[in-house]
Amino acid sequence: MLRFVLRRLLQVIPTLLLLSLLVFAWLRSLPGGPASAFLGDRATPERIAELNRVLGLDQPVLVQYGRFLGRVLTGDFGVSTITGQPVLTEIGRALPATVELSVAALLIAVLLGIPLGYLAASKRGGPLDISTIIGTLVGVAVPVFFLGYLLKAFFAVELGWFPPSGRQAIALDATDVTGFAVLDGLLTREWDASWDAILHLTLPAITLATIPLAVIVRITRASVLDVMGSDFVRTANSKGLAPGTVRGRHVLRNALLPVSTVIGLQVGLLLAGAVLTEKVFVWGGLGTLLADAITLKDYPRLQALLLLGALVYVLVNLLVDLSYAIIDPRVRLT
């Protein structure tokens, strides 16, 4: 087991190195070169030359890459051209908002998706199954940001059940402990602050959850059908095990293997979907940082978010692979 973990960890290193090389190449192909891209509107020939020297862009490419790698490893992503603050500080401040939103969305997707997929599979071809399939197909086809606006227009503006944007009512003046609004309210026993944060969270989380939900439902359904048709389930049934035992111990346990992989893959989608969702609900997380960086051409910030997004995605999938080895011993041997 330890050898498997170590080998899998070692495999990540070349991927990350290549990723850094790619981002490095991306930076160098920015319009007008990195220096003028970083300076944005403040670019003058003197300042570009100055920054080129500071960034070491007058050095050989290999040296430049080495320095780039060194800076990235020490967490130095430069200064945002919009706010003038270190990019890492900005990311640190915005991170909790996005994590909170993504976790809520993933919870909705998993807690709703697995039971729904299972029920659809066990009543295959029935009305629930058909409507679930149609629902998942339509769910994937709806542009995320349009769905967000739709939910906002109906549930927030028309019915007034939920606040239309933001993370928490400013009037509440909630204490900030961890940056996670819901958790903070619980920690400080400001129950109204927690409740308010949950209300703010609901619509964005539903918006962000639709695509992962649709994917999880479909994979669970397909996987359950696959397992239910296998020999060991027939054996379990024919030796007279209680249907509940077969379902829980034989079908569900085996069917959840591919589902866990897919959940890992959804994390990447969540990061990307967060960009769109946060823009709709003015959420103020990483997605908002990214959207602003695009509009205002803030390349240092864009570069850091790109690296971070890929890094998180790679690490989550590593974790999924490792958990796979715990669930299914066969994986360790291959």
Partner 1 sequence: MTTTWAQRRKERIDDLAGGRSLTSEAMRRLRRDPVAIVGAVIVGLFVVIAVFAPLLAPHGAAESFPELQADLRPGNIPGAQEGFPLGGDQLGRDFLSRMILASQQTLLVGVLATLIGLAIGIVIGTLAGAFGGWIDTVLMRVTDVLLAIPSLLLAISVAALAASPSQTTVIIAVAIVGVPIFARLLRGSMLSQRNSDHVVAATALGVKRPAVVLRHMLPNAIGPVIVQATLTLATAILDAAALSFLGLGDADPGRAEWGLMLAQAQTYLDVRPALAFYPAFAIIVVALGFTLLGESLREALDPKGRR
Cβ distance 256 to 114 under 8 Å?
yes
Among 45, 84, 125, 244, binds partner 1 (CB under 8 A): 125
Task: State how far the alpha carbon of 92 is from the alpha carbons of 50, 51, 75, in Å.
Answer: 29, 26, 11
- Closer of 283 and 299 to partner 1 (Cβ): 299
Binding-site string for partner 1 from residue 188 to residue 227, where x marks contact by CB under 8 A and - marks none: ----------------------------------x--xx-
Cβ distance 200 to 163 under 8 Å?
yes
Stretch that binds partner 1, among 124-132, 199-207, 234-242, 243-251 (CB under 8 A): 124-132
Does residue number 160 form part of the binding site for partner 1 (CB under 8 A)? Answer: no
Reduce the secondary structure of 120-139 to three states and give it as a string. HHHCCCCHHHHHHHHHHHHH
- Closer of 21 and 187 to partner 1 (Cβ): 21
Binding-site string for partner 1 from residue 256 to residue 285, where x marks contact by CB under 8 A and - marks none: ------------xx-xxx-xx--x------
- Closer of 37 and 206 to partner 1 (Cβ): 37
Among 1, 6, 130, 326, binds partner 1 (CB under 8 A): 130
Q: How far is the CB of 256 from partner 1 (least distance, A)?
A: 18
Q: How far is the CB of 295 from partner 1 (least distance, A)?
A: 5
Cα 60 to Cα 188: distance, rounded to the nearest angstrom: 54
Q: How far is the CB of 140 from partner 1 (least distance, A)?
A: 7
Reduce the secondary structure of 179-224 to three states and give it as a string. CCHHHHHHHCCCHHHHHHHHHHHHHHHHHHHHHHHHHHHHHHHHHH
Among 4, 5, 8, 30, binds partner 1 (CB under 8 A): 30
Does residue number 309 form part of the binding site for partner 1 (CB under 8 A)? Answer: yes
Task: State how far the alpha carbon of 24 is from the alpha carbons of 57, 65, 86, 158, in Å.
Answer: 12, 7, 19, 47
- Closer of 180 and 313 to partner 1 (Cβ): 313
- Closer of 116 and 271 to partner 1 (Cβ): 271
Cα 227 to Cα 217: distance, rounded to the nearest angstrom: 15
Report the candidate in 216, 221, 182 with the shortest Cα–Cα distance to residue 103.
182
Q: How far is the CB of 169 from partner 1 (least distance, A)?
A: 22
Q: How far is the CB of 121 from partner 1 (least distance, A)?
A: 10
Cα 258 to Cα 272: distance, rounded to the nearest angstrom: 22
Helix (H, G, I), strand (E, B) or coil at 169: coil
Stretch that binds partner 1, among 54-62, 129-137, 174-182, 186-194 (CB under 8 A): 129-137
- Closer of 153 and 177 to partner 1 (Cβ): 153
Does residue number 129 form part of the binding site for partner 1 (CB under 8 A)? Answer: yes
Q: How far is the CB of 42 from partner 1 (least distance, A)?
A: 17
Cβ distance 77 to 234 under 8 Å?
no
Question: Between the CA atoms of 321, 324, 330 and 334, what dihedral angle is there, to the nearest 10 degrees?
Answer: 0
**Angle, CA of 292, 283 and 293, to the nearest 5°:** 10
Residues at the contact surface with partner 1, assessed by CB under 8 A: 14-15, 18-19, 22, 26, 29-32, 124-126, 129-130, 137-138, 140-146, 149, 153, 157, 222, 225-226, 229, 268-269, 271-273, 275-276, 279, 290-291, 294-295, 297, 299, 302, 305-306, 309-310, 313-314, 317
